Structure 1
């Protein structure tokens, strides 16, 4: 009985220590940790200055992972990880901006 309890305890401890991959919150084909998502120095969009370093739709740090789409809204340039996120932002931009003001 002690062996079963020890094995069960170890299994619980090991399963709790599993590092879960941080998946992108939308149905994008990439995860936030995938190598191809890191900021590509050859992408001209990554060289621009944005009003925020976050993609307001999914809260991905575009300064770290890079930008694949942009929009200018009320005179400010915003970067997004994908067209899906940009389109989501454009459906209710004032709501996203109000929620993300500090």
Structure 2
């Protein structure tokens, strides 16, 4: 399995960013495409008008979110991709 890591500094606090990722309304706002998120372990989600679908497999409040996902372009025999998001406070207003 190929792996890669991306790091980014986001100008907001950890709680706001964490909550936005798991909110249908906020996820829609920051991606620009319709998103639906069930904010719970094994909760379903979709993003970009259902181009991406998956499940949230792990939630550690304000620390980590793990999701398995796929796009409509994945072949049926393709495994889901795994996204692990780690949240780290850099300062009061930067994550």
Range into which the TM-score falls when normalised by the shorter chain: under 0.3
Report the TM-score, using the length of structure 1 for normalisation. 0.22
Bigger fraction of residues in strand: 2
* Structure with greater contact order relative to length (CA < 8 Å, sep ≥ 6): 2
